[in-house]
C-alpha cells in the first residue's frame, strides 16, 4: 500500500546517512507570495550584472515547470563550517571555499538520494539542484520547515546557524509534506545589518546584491566601483561578515565531510603568497575549488583593489 508518511521518513533517513544535516519536504506549487517580491527586487536592479536572475521568471516560482508533474520539493541542508580557519592576517576567502567545489560534492550525494528513491520506493521522475538553476532554495527550505530566512537573507536554523549549503530534489512523487517554518527568531537583533561595510543588507529584509562583497568579488565581471574603496576589508573571494556576527552561528558545529576539508596550503597563504601567485599555479591549486569561478584575472583584480 502507498504510504506517503513511510516514504517521506525513508528519504529523510537516507539523507541523514548521506551526511545532510536536515531534510524537509514541501508541496510543489506556485510561490505566489514570492512573485511580487522577486519582480520588485529585479526592477530595482539589485541583481547587478547577474542577468541570469532575470531569466526563467516563471520557473523560479513554480517547480512544476522544471519537472513535469512535480509533486514534492525535497529541501536539504549540508553543514560546511570548517574546523581550521584562515591565517587572520591575509586576504580573506569565504569559508565555503576552503575545500572542493560544493556543487560537485552535493550533486553526487543528491544523485545517490534520487537513486535510493527509485530503487527503494519506485521509479520517479526528478531533478537535483545545487545553486545552479532557477530554484528559490531559501524559500523552499523555509516552506519545508528547515528554518527561517534571517535579516541577512540567509536560511537560519536553531542550534545550527547558517553555515550550510542548500540543495533540492524536485520529484513527481507525492510525499507527506512538512509544515512551513513560520517563526522568526532574529528578534530585534541587527548585527548583520550593522556589520555589513557596503550596506548591502536592507532593514526591509532583502539583499542589495549589487552592493554585496560576495557579488563584487565573484559575480562582477567589470571593475569594482570606486565607491567601495576601503570597504572590502581584505575580502578577495566572497564574504562571511554577516554570518560571523550572527549570534545563531555560535551554535555552529564543525562539518565532517572530507571533500570539504580545508586545504592547509591555502589557509597558510600570506598576502605575499596571494600577490605573487602565477596563473599556472592558480589553475593547479584551485582546479577543484569554487575559487576558480572569477578566474585568475578576477582574483588579481580583487587583490589589486583591496591593497591599493
Cβ-based burial of 237 (10 A; exposed 0-12, middle 13-18, buried ≥19) = buried
The answer to whether residues 197 and 288 touch, using CB atoms and an 8 Å cutoff, is no
Query: Model confidence at 53, in pLDDT bands (50, 70, 90)?
Result: low
Instruction: Quote the cell numbers at residue 180.
Output: 512551513
Please say if the pLDDT value at position 1 is more than 70.
Answer: no
Query: Model confidence at 46, in pLDDT bands (50, 70, 90)?
Result: confident
Query: Model confidence at 62, in pLDDT bands (50, 70, 90)?
Result: very high
Q: What is the largest CA-CA distance in the chain?
A: 68
Instruction: Quote the cell numbers at residue 236.
Output: 578577495
Please say if the pLDDT value at position 194 is more than 90.
Answer: yes
User: How far is the C-alpha of 238 from the C-alpha of 14, rounded, in Å?
Assistant: 32
Question: What is the per-residue pLDDT for 231?
Answer: 97
The per-residue pLDDT for range 148-170, each reduced to its tens digit, is 999 999 999 999 999 999 999 99
Sequence-distant (≥ 6) Cβ neighbours of residue 117 within 8 angstroms: 11, 124, 126, 169, 171, 173
Distance between the two ends of the chain, CA-based, in angstroms? 68
Range scoring the smallest mean pLDDT among 42-46, 124-128, 262-266: 42-46
Percent of the chain with pLDDT over 70: 98
User: How far is the C-alpha of 242 from the C-alpha of 155, rounded, in Å?
Assistant: 12
User: How far is the C-alpha of 211 from the C-alpha of 272, rounded, in Å?
Assistant: 27
CA distances from 89 to 7, 261, 269 (A): 50, 21, 9
Which residues carry out catalysis? Answer: 131
Range scoring the smallest mean pLDDT among 170-179, 198-207, 215-224: 198-207
Query: Model confidence at 41, in pLDDT bands (50, 70, 90)?
Result: confident
Query: Model confidence at 52, in pLDDT bands (50, 70, 90)?
Result: low
The per-residue pLDDT for range 266-294, each reduced to its tens digit, is 999 999 999 999 999 999 999 999 999 99
Instruction: Quote the cell numbers at residue 112.
Output: 545517490
Average pLDDT, rounded, for the chain: 94
User: What is the pTM for the complete model shown?
Assistant: 0.94
Mean pLDDT for 57-80 is: 94
Range scoring the smallest mean pLDDT among 18-32, 34-48, 288-302: 34-48
* Cα torsion angle, 258, 260, 261, 263, sign: positive
User: How far is the C-alpha of 97 from the C-alpha of 102, rounded, in Å?
Assistant: 8
Q: What are phi and psi of 168, to 5 degrees?
A: -145, 150
Question: What is the per-residue pLDDT for 303?
Answer: 98
Amino acid at each position: 500500500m502507498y504510504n506517503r508518511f513511510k516514504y517521506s521518513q525513508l528519504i529523510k533517513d537516507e539523507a541523514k546517512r548521506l551526511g545532510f544535516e536536515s531534510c524537509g519536504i514541501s508541496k510543489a506549487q506556485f510561490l505566489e507570495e514570492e512573485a511580487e517580491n522577486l519582480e520588485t527586487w529585479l526592477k530595482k536592479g539589485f541583481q547587478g550584472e547577474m542577468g541570469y536572475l532575470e531569466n526563467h521568471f516563471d520557473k523560479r516560482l513554480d517547480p512544476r515547470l522544471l519537472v513535469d508533474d512535480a509533486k514534492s520539493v525535497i529541501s536539504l541542508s549540508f553543514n560546511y563550517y570548517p574546523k581550521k580557519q584562515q591565517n587572520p592576517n591575509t586576504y580573506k576567502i569565504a569559508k565555503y571555499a576552503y575545500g572542493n567545489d560544493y556543487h560537485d560534492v552535493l550533486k553526487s550525494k543528491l544523485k545517490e538520494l534520487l537513486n535510493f528513491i527509485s530503487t527503494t520506493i519506485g521509479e520517479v521522475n526528478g531533478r537535483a539542484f545545487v545553486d545552479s538553476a532557477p530554484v528559490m532554495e531559501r524559500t523552499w527550505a523555509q516552506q519545508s520547515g528547515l528554518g527561517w530566512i534571517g535579516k541577512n537573507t540567509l536560511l537560519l536554523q536553531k542550534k545550527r546557524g547558517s553555515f550550510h549549503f542548500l540543495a533540492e530534489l524536485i520529484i513527481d512523487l507525492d510525499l507527506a509534506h512538512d509544515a512551513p517554518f513560520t517563526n522568526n527568531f532574529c528578534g530585534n537583533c541587527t548585527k548583520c545589518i550593522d556589520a555589513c561595510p557596503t550596506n548591502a543588507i536592507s532593514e526591509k529584509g532583502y539583499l542589495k546584491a549589487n552592493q554585496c562583497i560576495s557579488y563584487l568579488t565573484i559575480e562582477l565581471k567589470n571593475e569594482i566601483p570606486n565607491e567601495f574603496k576601503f570597504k572590502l576589508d581584505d575580502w578577495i573571494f566572497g564574504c562571511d561578515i554577516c554570518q560571523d556576527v550572527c549570534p545563531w552561528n555560535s551554535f555552529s558545529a564543525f562539518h565532517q565531510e572530507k571533500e570539504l576539508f580545508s586545504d592547509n596550503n591555502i589557509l597558510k597563504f600570506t598576502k605575499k603568497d596571494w600577490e605573487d601567485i602565477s596563473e599556472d599555479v592558480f589553475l593547479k591549486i584551485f582546479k577543484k575549488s569554487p575559487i576558480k569561478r572569477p578566474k585568475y584575472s578576477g582574483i588579481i583584480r580583487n587583490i589589486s583593489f583591496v591593497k591599493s
